[in-house]
């Protein structure tokens, strides 16, 4: 089983400067390796399926793949000695990131879906670096020892569970400071059994009037954190529009805006975790609609849909169920609002009709 714990770092001013310097160098290396891939791609492709008899052929070169680009790192440390201060595996992880980004552009993901053309990273858009391997004894109380960097103080708000092994460490710069995300592995995974208690099986229906409604009729109110924060966000956006571009005052306002957005996201995430915990304490099997949330986010309800965060909630619920040996089942949403949940008979309704009144079993339900 794989899980992740995130802790807030408390670096000194000198360490903050060093972290920013690492990110700046890694960002430059990422852009250089990506440009190398683009150069090869442009020089070795033909825009047409035929060429004239007499034409200029550019000098062909080998494809800069993951291994060939990784072999350039020792030479990089000779020509640019300051890169020798960065841990070698952190630099290798940058090569891996470039490979994954470019492969999604050319080949697509596991489902064959291709992403758009990769873009070069601006310095303020490159916020993360990763230690792919880290020793078990890296944690010493409330300090974490990072290779080639040193000891960093962090807030140990929850201990590492017994039996879990630290696999990777990821340092991330966010609006309110630096965080470390530890990827933990445990060999003892609870097996999902299929002899569940029939009284502990439920279905949930997410919505915009109530966040979710269970098949037993229990409801969870929707918090609408973004809607409640809109008034303050509007004030900060107005303040930002009056600041001169490139000024220190504008930079401070941008940071203030980022902190406010992060506060909204943290509140939503905390609500999702608590709601998932409450559901899994009561039920062993939870059935959810397999909604096309990406499609719904392009409609007029986009702001409310994204504020509710259904996709994030279902992901958290599924992961926590797997870790506990429970089950979350995705159900095809076709005709779920037309079929009666009590007797199973089809009761046709138009889109604007939000009240279910079954003539067969006299079941009355709200479909919002």
Position 338 in a domain:
no
Q: For 253-268, how does the pLDDT look when each residue is reduced to its tens digit (9 = 90+)? A: 999 999 999 999 999 9
- Is residue 355 very low, low, confident or very high in pLDDT (cuts 50, 70, 90)? confident
- Under 8 Å between Cβ of 267 and 223: yes
Domain match, 156 and 266 both: no
Domain match, 179 and 221 both: no
Q: What is the mean pLDDT of residues 105-123?
A: 85
Point out the domain boundary residue: 159, 185, 211: 185
Domain match, 14 and 139 both: yes
Position 360 in a domain:
no
Predicted confidence at residue 318, as pLDDT, reads 92
Q: What is the mean pLDDT of residues 193-220?
A: 85
Domain match, 177 and 203 both: no
DSSP lists the bridge partners of residue 251 as none
Domain match, 92 and 179 both: yes
Q: For 127-184, how does the pLDDT look when each residue is reduced to its tens digit (9 = 90+)? A: 999 999 998 888 998 999 999 999 999 999 999 888 889 999 999 999 999 999 999 9
Predicted confidence at residue 62, as pLDDT, reads 75
Predicted confidence at residue 40, as pLDDT, reads 84
Contacts of 211 (CB under 8 A, 6+ apart): 219, 220, 221, 222, 223, 275, 308
- Cα separation of 326 and 4, whole Å? 19
Q: What is the mean pLDDT of residues 56-61?
A: 62
Domain match, 226 and 312 both: yes
CB atoms within 10 A of CB 76: 14
Provide the angle, in degrees to the nearest 10, between the axes of the packed helices 88-106 and 13-43: 40
CB atoms within 10 A of CB 268: 20
Domain match, 178 and 204 both: no
Q: By residue range, what is the domain housing residue 124?
A: 2-44+54-185
Coil vs helix vs strand at 146 = strand
Mean pLDDT of the chain: 88
> What whole-number percentage of the chain has pLDDT above 70?
92
Domain match, 137 and 221 both: no
Predicted confidence at residue 52, as pLDDT, reads 60
Domain match, 168 and 207 both: no
Domain match, 158 and 35 both: yes
Q: For 129-144, how does the pLDDT look when each residue is reduced to its tens digit (9 = 90+)? A: 999 999 888 899 899 9
Domain match, 315 and 291 both: yes
Predicted confidence at residue 365, as pLDDT, reads 72
Please give the tally of structural domains in the chain.
2
Q: How far is CA 157 from CA 9, 142, 213, 250, 267, in A?
A: 11, 10, 32, 34, 17
- Under 8 Å between Cβ of 208 and 222: yes
Predicted confidence at residue 130, as pLDDT, reads 96
Domain match, 107 and 236 both: no
- Is residue 110 very low, low, confident or very high in pLDDT (cuts 50, 70, 90)? confident
Select the more confidently predicted residue: 61 or 298: 298
Predicted confidence at residue 368, as pLDDT, reads 52
Q: Picking from 111-120, 238-247, 321-330, 345-354, which range would have the lowest pLDDT averaged per residue?
A: 345-354
């Amino acid at each position: 089983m794989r899980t992740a714990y995130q802790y807030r770092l408390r670096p000194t001013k000198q360490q903050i400067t060093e972290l920013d310097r690492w990110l700046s160098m890694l960002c430059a290396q990422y852009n250089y390796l990506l440009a190398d891939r683009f150069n090869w791609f442009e020089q070795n492709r033909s825009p047409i399926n035929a060429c004239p008899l007499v034409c200029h052929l550019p000098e062909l070169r080998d494809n800069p793949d993951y291994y060939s680009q990784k072999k350039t790192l020792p030479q990089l440390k000779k020509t640019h000695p300051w890169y020798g201060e960065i841990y070698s595996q952190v630099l290798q992880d940058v090569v891996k990131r470039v490979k994954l980004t470019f492969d999604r552009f050319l080949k697509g993901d596991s489902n064959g879906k291709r992403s758009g053309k990769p873009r070069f990273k601006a310095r303020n858009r490159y916020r993360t670096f990763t230690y792919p391997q880290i020793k078990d004894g890296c944690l010493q109380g409330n300090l974490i020892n990072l290779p080639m960097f040193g000891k960093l103080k962090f807030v140990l708000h929850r201990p590492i569970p017994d039996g879990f092994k630290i696999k990777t460490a990821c340092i991330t710069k966010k609006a309110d400071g630096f965080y470390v995300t530890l990827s933990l592995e445990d060999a003892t995974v609870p097996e999902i059994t299929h002899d569940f208690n029939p009284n502990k099986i439920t279905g949930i229906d997410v919505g915009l009037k109530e966040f979710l409604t269970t098949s037993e009729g229990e409801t969870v109110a929707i918090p609408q954190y973004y809607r409640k924060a809109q008034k303050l966000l509007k004030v900060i956006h107005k303040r930002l529009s009056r600041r001169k571009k490139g000024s220190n005052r504008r930079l401070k306002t941008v940071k203030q805006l980022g902190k406010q957005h992060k506060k909204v996201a943290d509140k939503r995430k905390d609500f999702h975790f608590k709601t998932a915990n409450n559901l899994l304490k009561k039920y062993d099997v939870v059935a959810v609609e397999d909604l096309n949330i990406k499609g719904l986010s392009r409609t007029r309800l986009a702001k409310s849909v994204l504020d509710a965060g259904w996709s994030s909630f279902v992901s958290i619920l599924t992961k926590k169920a797997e870790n506990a040996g429970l089950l979350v089942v995705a159900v095809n949403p076709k005709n779920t609002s037309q079929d009666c949940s009590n007797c199973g008979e089809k009761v046709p309704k138009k889109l604007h009709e939000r009240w279910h009144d079954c003539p067969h079993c006299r079941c009355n339900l709200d479909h919002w």
